[in-house]
Structure 1
Amino acid sequence: MKQKKPSKLSAFFICVLIATLLWLLHSLNTVYTKQFSIPIEFKNYPQNKLMIEIPKEIKVSVKASGLKLLMIGLTEPFPVLRVDLNDVKSDASRSKFYLSSKMADVKKMFQFKADIRRIQPDTISFINNEGTQKEVPVKVPLSINYTKGYTAKLIKVDPARVVIAGELADLDDIDTIYTLPVSLNDQRTDLVKTLTLINPNNKIVINATAVELHISVGKLVEKEISVPIKLENADEHFKYSLFPSKVKVKYSGVFGESGADSSLLRVFVDLSQRKNNKLSVNMKLLSEHITVLSFEPKEVEFLMIKK
């Protein structure tokens, strides 16, 4: 009696299963770096000192095999790490406390041996209690050359503002915190980049060390739409008719799936500026990401009838 051979489909699934198992074994034995969040609390604050920002958690970068990282992840959420600032290494003035000196306590929270690469924040900063603080904007010295036919849909800095603290005399002349400059060429894709903040005075403290720059890039296209003309400074005792009542506008920009949208600009005539039954057409852009190439007509005629 002949033995039935496995079908091609069965053989295929067996191969897929073997390949998956081999991939899984490889992944579990490969070394990775992963970040875990650990809640943190402090006690025994130094006298006459004010902590700039009290972190609610620390980010711990751990380097280990995929299997160990998986097992560590299964123990989340982690218990609260309670830090006695009297036991933490600090500078001579007790203005800075270094959490890296508590590395042994952090390691105890993991049930498996792993290489801790980094703790963020690493340093807790204080100022004299009589100091002051204020909020200022963050600016990125940014130079971008886009690939031809592309431009920005959105440029955002997160956080857009930071808190600086220190003595009043040291804060007076600071109205902006800058990042390291960024120069991009031939840009055509979205970008997220972490940027270090520059402290303009080592006597002040900033509540963040870095920000994220988000750049969303889209393809630049031309559109032509018909936009109704709105009336400004109209006399409520009269009824007005415009000839024509719409303007054809040609403009370029980055558009979503909905395409060109008349809400991106406002077209209007000012009836207080009427001359010889004609009005000049005015235009106001409601988006900084579009450019008007042309529009017609530049003038319209009008008829006003008393109600």
Structure 2
Amino acid sequence: MILLNKPFKVLEIDFNGLKSVNRDQNYVLSTSHLNFKSIFKFETQVKHISPDTLYFSEKHGYQKNVPVKVPLYLKCKEGYGYKKPSINPAFVTLWGDSSLISDIDTIYTQALTLSDLDKSVDTQLELLKPNQQVFTSSSEANVFINVAKLIEQTINLPVNDIHTSVKHRVNIFPSTVKVKFTAIQNSYNAEDSTIFKATIDSEKINQATKKCPVFLSTFPGNVTIMSIEPQEVEILIFKK
């Protein structure tokens, strides 16, 4: 094997001598039709050409950018979870007749179905063209899914009423709740704790028990809530 680092002449290709694949203007590159001797200045035996096929499309007519989405059906092993998949490219450009493209708002890839995941996934998926006369800037998308162990954590939160009143004061017992949640390893930061908000709606008090259910009005998108203890708190309403 000889490694050649010197700059070479541009390889000129006569497409009249290449084999066309079906009607999609795809041309297969073959050493029998390419003159490498004119570039290297010596006889060569080419083992492989990459890419081995050239694709052409007439990019005329209407054009628009649309997002790429992946139909995912994923299931992890117990104790594992995954982050939101990374798709590259996230958008593709479409070309074609306006009547074919105007109603397209998304391009989908092949569906990805995986189970018993315990490690990250990095794969290429073909883009599904809605019509053969619609051309895309890319024919496939790279999908990366970060899979890692789930870490169980607990946080204590003060409970607040969503209503404020100048006429009444609401006392809550207990005034804090314990929230148990899971997050993917290394995905939860200390700053995320400020996003948790434990809340009650005092107007929906159970008159028999004088209690209100506790819910999380906000919480980080990268966690899964396991439990809230206690699920209900007692409230007393006093006039100011």
- Give the TM-score normalised by the residue count of structure 1: 0.58
Residues 140-162 of structure 1: CA distance to partner in whole angstroms, max 9, x if unpaired?
23232322221212322222222
Q: 2:143 aligns with which of 213, 221, 224?
A: 213
Q: Which structure is richer in relative contact order (CA contacts within 8 A, separation 6 or more)? A: 2
| Number of the residue aligned with 2:233 | 299
Aligned to 1:184: 114
Residue 193 of structure 2 is matched in structure 1 by 262
Contact conserved, 2:70 with 2:111, CA < 8 A, in 1?
A: yes
Q: Unaligned stretches of 5+ in structure 1?
A: 1-64
What does residue 222 of structure 1 align with?
152
The alignment status of 1:194 with 2:124, answered yes or no, reads yes
What is the CA–CA distance in structure 1 between the aligned matches of 2:86 and 2:148, rounded to whole Å?
A: 15
Name which of 264, 281, 288 aligns with 2:214: 281
Please report the TM-score for the alignment, with normalisation by the length of structure 2. 0.71
Superposition map of 1:161-180 within 5 A:
161-180=91-110
Residue pairs, 1:138-153, within 5 angstroms: 138-153=68-83
Measured at CA, do residues 194 and 264 of structure 1 come closer, stay the same or move farther in structure 2, by a change above 3 Å?
farther
Distance 1:80 1:264 in 2: 60
Specify the alignment match of 2:56 in structure 1.
124
Match of 1:290 among 220, 223, 230: 223
Instruction: Output the aligned Cα RMSD.
Output: 4.2
**Alignment: residue pair count:** 228
Give SS of 2:51's match: strand
1:80-99 equivalence runs, <5 A: 96=25
Give yes or no for contact 1:99–1:124 (8 Å, CA) kept in 2: no
Distance 1:245 1:293 in 2: 20
Q: Spell out, residue by residue over 1:150-202, the C-alpha distance to the aligned partner (whole angstroms, 9 max, x if none).
A: 12123222222222111012224533322223232321111111111122211
- Secondary structure in structure 2 of the residue aligned to 1:126: coil
CA contact (8 A) 2:29 2:53 kept: no
Give yes or no for contact 1:132–1:168 (8 Å, CA) kept in 2: yes
Distance 1:118-1:257 versus aligned 2 partners, 3 A rule: closer
Q: Which string of whole-angstrom CA distances, capped at 9 and with x for unpartnered residues, describes residues 190-221 of structure 1?
A: 11111111222111101111111110011123
Contact 1:231-1:269 at 8 Å conserved across structures: yes
Rounded to whole Å, the distance in 2 between the matches of 1:209 and 1:186 is 29
Supply the AA of the counterpart residue of 2:74.
I
Higher helix share: 1
SS of 1:125 mapped into structure 2: coil
CA contact (8 A) 1:152 1:289 kept: no
Report the CA distance shift for 1:88/1:266 in structure 2 as closer, same or farther (over 3 A).
Answer: farther
What percent of counterpart residues are identical? 26
Structure 2 Cα separation of the partners of residues 80 and 232 of structure 1: 73
Aligned to 2:181: 251
Larger Rg: 1
